[in-house]
A and B are shown apart, each in its own frame.
Chain A
Amino acid sequence: MKLLRRAADRYEFLFGRREQHVFCEVLRAFPVTPLEHHRVTRGTATPALSGAQQLLHEALTDFKQEARRRLELFLAETHRFAPHRDGLRASFTGEEMEWLLQVLNDIRVGSWLQLGCPDPDTGQRPKLTPENARYLPLMEAAGAFEYALLAALDGTEGVGWGPLRRDD
């Protein structure tokens, strides 16, 4: 996933063919983060904060339902990815970039939860089982696509990850 150009509020990317397939498959996993993960406070529960917790869950339920509806439309758009000499070309508005970041990060965080919340800083590795193994590549791929989007928004080449060079 490589930024080709930015014009006004549009960001045009080049995807390898396999890469575009992976991108869509990763997005298809949304939502992954369970509602229970979202806590409004770590402090003492008060009536005001109990109400705030309920409001948060309602707001995020609406947000995720709308994002899922929008995602289905996005994935069904046959003209979203146009053929290019080196793969497929797609452009996103700034608003779509933000939405994609939110969707991808939900997938990344939810996958991390499924893997037992591994922490590389403390040497804690993912707790892999046959049931959750698919979340490891999902988490890493979502993060890689996030990097590419963030680098485009930031006007940099990106860090820690480069686009795939060969297809098929």
Chain B
Amino acid sequence: MAEIAAPVERPEVESGDQTAPLRGREPGYLVVCWNDPVNLMVYVTHVFMVVFGWPKPKAEQHMLEVHTKGRSVLERASLERAEFYVHKLQAYGLQATLERDDT
């Protein structure tokens, strides 16, 4: 992701994040966002807030995960729901994919 001039404050990590895949749940699909050097960090945060309706700290947490770890799992959902999110994210130009969750 392209850097911004101002530092981004690292938000508190939420406990019990519902986007994390959990064992024992029905098989589904993960919505994954991948890092790239072109999308602006503030833009990625904004898109997460718009598409998922997340508060800014949670959106920033996932944006920073994308930036530092190369990817972030944003959601776990049925194929239809995961496709919906991927379409939305890609219409904003983010590198978002859906991956089968076999955990």
Contacts and interface: CB of A to CB of B under 8 A. Distances in A.
Nearest to B8: A159
Given A33-B93, A43-B100, 10 more contacts: A42-B32, A43-B99, A60-B87, A60-B90, A101-B43, A105-B43, A121-B3, A150-B43, A153-B46, A159-B4
A108 B97 contact: no
A112 B38 CA distance: 7
A7 interface: no
Interface in B32-88: 32, 34, 37-40, 42-43, 46, 50, 79, 83, 86-87
A interface: dominant SS: helix
Interface in A49-71: 49, 52, 55-56, 59-60, 63
A101 B90 contact: no
B87 A160 contact: no
18 contacts: A40-B98, A41-B97, A41-B98, A43-B97, A49-B98, A52-B86, A56-B86, A60-B90, A101-B43, A108-B93, A109-B38, A109-B39, A119-B37, A120-B2, A120-B37, A121-B37, A147-B42, A160-B6
A167 to B, nearest CB: 25
B interface: dominant SS: mixed
Nearest to A52: B83
A106 B93 contact: yes
A117 B37 contact: yes
A63 B87 CA distance: 10
Q: Which of under 10, 10 to 19, 20 to 34, or 35 or more describes the interface residues of A?
A: 35 or more
Contacts of A98: 50
A38 interface: yes
Contacts of B83: 40, 52, 55-56
Contact of B2 (A49, A106, A143, A154): A143
Interface of A: 33, 38-44, 46, 48-49, 52, 55-56, 59-60, 63, 98, 101-102, 105-106, 108-109, 112, 117-121, 139, 143, 146-147, 150, 153-154, 159-161
B90 A56 contact: yes
Contacts of A139: 38
B42 A159 contact: yes
A146 B92 CA distance: 12
A59 B97 CA distance: 15
B22 interface: no
B34 to A, nearest CB: 7
A39 B96 CA distance: 8
